[in-house]
Amino acid sequence: MSFQTLDQADLQGKRALVRVDFNVPLSHEKGEDGQVTDDTRLRAAKPTIDKLRTGGAKVILLAHFDRPKGKRVPGMSLKPIVAPLAKVLGVPVAFAEDCIGPKAREAVAAMAPGDVLLLENVRFHPGEEANDRKFADALAANGDLYVNDAFSAAHRAHASTEALAHRLPAYAGEQMRLELDALDRALGNPERPVLGIVGGSKVSTKLDLLRHLVTKLDKLAIGGGMANTFLYAQGHDVGASYCEKELAETARDVIRLAGQNNCKLFLPLDIVVAEKLAPGAPARVRDVGSVDDDERILDAGPETVERLCRAMANSKTLVWNGPLGVFEIPPFDKGTLEAARYAAKLTREGKLVAVAGGGDTVAALNAAGVVDDFTFVSTAGGAFLEWMEGKTLPGVAALLNRDNRAR
């Protein structure tokens, strides 16, 4: 992929408009400003901010928070982010009460090289989500160059993620670069064979993903509740399990498409069942199709997990989205945790490039204690999923294949 990085930018004295994702969880108590309860996204922005500061740039941060729908909503201000961000960076952070206009202009004019300024929520203006050209012009007026470090917002064609990139010399930030490089290693130009794991509860939410992956991967394992629909489509009884029976023919289409593209499909061989979903509920291992009417399939069985681990050992690249079972509730976490730990072991040994993403997937890898062992774990959510589906992300497309001159 062809995109400019900060290594190619002249930063000294320049005003760098940096799109970050600071849509962090806040807790509100007794009417006070919200307190950041998870600073992961603040820490993710630190390498880019540090690099810009070291290069002598004035760092001007653009971000959204929540969904104010183009109106100024005091409870959705970015001001509570200032103190925790300053703590993460180890330097003072100034704040402007607007992202355009006199307040933004005055705050930017007061900056010296190396200073950091956070502008108010870009979504307070309707022009942001409308990708309005005039609003993008107003944002661009305060910058000499543009840096996008928010892959998680790159699937939105908004003014601060798309239009702005066409008005200033545009660069990928450090987090964006890591994300794009990892995804290119996983699906763009991977080392083969490539194995995919797709889990979760619903086939209906991942149809585009499945149809795309079977044209890209050498092997695809389907787990979680969505595997029940595929088992049902093959004529197996799934008892009282969650199952989208109306999608049986669609599942059979995916199976046929996999065969046409020489993608080997792995469906469960055995499963873990219980009559109710509760911590410590009595669980039994059943062969596929041997499920009683009152039993629910809640995890992959040991034979299925063992075969999946063998498939990992015979692969060079792994792409993972979605758990194999109801990992939040033991004992139905066993399949997901065992598979995650084996993937981590292969990655540590240098035998596997493992890239994972999606909210439930990250939570499962955290539960297994292996997030840091994977090659890359994306927290981008919707953007990660759309990339895996083969869709064009407007915020990424605006950075790619450009002559990097302001337009």
Residue extents of the structural domains in the chain = 6-176, 190-388
Q: pLDDT tens across 67-84, in order?
A: 999 999 999 999 999 999
Q: Domain spanning 6-176 has what CATH number?
A: 3.40.50.1260
DSSP 132: -
Closest CA to 163 of 134, 142, 141: 134
| Residue-level pLDDT at 33 | 64
| Residue-level pLDDT at 42 | 95
- What parts of the chain have a pLDDT lower than 70? 1, 28-33, 401-407
| Encoded amino acid at 159, one letter | A
Spatial separation of the C-alpha atoms in residues 15 and 111, rounded to whole Å: 9
| Residue-level pLDDT at 407 | 38
pTM to 2 decimals? 0.87
Active-site annotation, residues: 41, 202, 359, 382
| Assigned fold of 190-388 | Rossmann fold (3.40.50)
Buried b (16+ CB within 10 A) or exposed e, 28-66: eeeeeebebeebebbebbbbbbebbbebebbbbbbbbbe
| Residue-level pLDDT at 31 | 45
Spatial separation of the C-alpha atoms in residues 381 and 214, rounded to whole Å: 21
Q: pLDDT tens across 114-155, in order?
A: 999 999 999 999 999 999 999 999 999 999 999 999 999 999
Q: Do domains 6-176 and 190-388 have the same CATH topology?
A: yes
Spatial separation of the C-alpha atoms in residues 362 and 397, rounded to whole Å: 26
